Amino acid sequence: MIPQEFSHIACRQVDLDALAAIGDDQIAGLVTELSTPGTDRVVAYRQGRRWSACSSRRQWSPLARPAVAGAPEGVYLITGGLGGIGLVLADHLARTAKAKLVLTSRRGLPPRDTWQDYLASHGAQDAASRKIRSVIALEDLGAEVSIGSADVVDEAGMKAVVDEACARFGRIHGVIHAAGIAGGGMIQLKKPEVAAAVLAPKVLGTQVLERALAGSSSTSSCCARR
Ligand SMILES: NC(=O)c1ccc[n+]([C@@H]2O[C@H](COP(=O)([O-])OP(=O)(O)OC[C@H]3O[C@@H](n4cnc5c(N)ncnc54)[C@H](OP(=O)(O)O)[C@@H]3O)[C@@H](O)[C@H]2O)c1
């Protein structure tokens, strides 16, 4: 997006061969790329050769999709589990993996024993009503669903969610990190704090999750990652 918004900035992609040891050739190539005002936007170094992609001749062809084994039956923690992507993946796991699901978000849901009253007193378009209906639909598919409420950058909060999941389900077999805000808008109008708010759940959230899960396996004998 950057060159589309800023005509004076050029972005280039320099692709080094990940399978080859990075040697003097590749480093020299990279230095040349960085110090030359080239016009090639996509460049690749392979076996001592420099390849450039001419965008007008670039073509796309479909890859055969290899058969992928489905997710194994088990307990899945989905951060952002009440959001758009989280609920789609929860639905998939409920249908294909007889999943026990721990769905987390900052706001969570009203207490379960108030759901019927909540649905009766709020319109169908109410955000929490839609999420409650989605959870009920997951349970109708046979999933056991636990709702957790924590900011994914809050380590103590996430640790509590993990501990609660372990206490209820025994162990967590898989984690899907789908908590976040998309943060659209033009780069020119972004302020550092806006970018930080978008990056926090994605980057810090991933680090917090790793620590919360690692801690749980060492402090609780019942809880471990597969
Ligand atoms: N939709 C797409 O096409 C797409 C494509 C590529 C990447 N993504 C990324 O995928 C992630 C989810 O997208 P989505 O479309 O599912 O968004 P969404 O419908 O807005 O759902 C986001 C979910 O994350 C929760 N959440 C947000 N910030 C959180 C935080 N700090 N801690 C805990 N939970 C948090 C939200 O609930 P609360 O507000 O209650 O916390 C909500 O449940 C985002 O990071 C997005 O950038 C989306």
| Residues 108 and 143 both lie in one domain | yes
Residue percentage of the chain with pLDDT more than 70: 93
Asked if the structure places residue 39 within a domain, the reply is: yes
Probe target for ligand 1 pocket from 103, 106, 194, 199, with the most ligand atoms within 8 Å of CB = 106
Residue with the nearest Cα to atom 47 of ligand 1? 182
What is the whole-number distance in angstroms between the Cα of residue 201 and the centre of ligand 1? 9
| Residues 184 and 80 both lie in one domain | yes
**Does the Cβ of 178 fall within 6 Å of ligand 1?**
yes
Q: Can you give the residue range of the structural domain that contains 93?
A: 75-222
pLDDT number for residue 71: 84
Asked if the structure places residue 16 within a domain, the reply is: yes
Asked if the structure places residue 165 within a domain, the reply is: yes
How many domains would you assign to the chain? 2
| Residues 153 and 217 both lie in one domain | yes
pLDDT number for residue 215: 59
Asked if the structure places residue 88 within a domain, the reply is: yes
Asked if the structure places residue 62 within a domain, the reply is: no
Backbone angles phi, psi at 50, to 5 degrees: -105, 125
- pLDDT band at residue 55 under the 50/70/90 scheme: low
**Does the Cβ of 132 fall within 6 Å of ligand 1?**
no
**Does the Cβ of 105 fall within 6 Å of ligand 1?**
yes
**Does the Cβ of 203 fall within 6 Å of ligand 1?**
no
| Residues 98 and 196 both lie in one domain | yes
Residue with the nearest Cα to atom 5 of ligand 1? 182
| Residues 164 and 107 both lie in one domain | yes
Q: Note whether 198 and 68 are within 8 A (CB).
A: no
pLDDT number for residue 163: 95
| Residues 79 and 114 both lie in one domain | yes
- 201 CA closest ligand 1 atom index: 31
Asked if the structure places residue 61 within a domain, the reply is: no
Q: Which 3 state secondary structure label does DSSP give 105?
A: strand
Q: Note whether 34 and 10 are within 8 A (CB).
A: no
Per-residue pLDDT tens over the stretch 131-186: 999 999 999 999 999 999 999 999 999 999 999 999 999 999 999 999 999 888 88
**Does the Cβ of 84 fall within 6 Å of ligand 1?**
yes
Cα 175 to Cα 162, 178, 191, 210: the distances in Å are 11, 9, 31, 10
> Between helices 127-140 and 84-96, what is the axis angle to 10°?
10
Asked if the structure places residue 200 within a domain, the reply is: yes
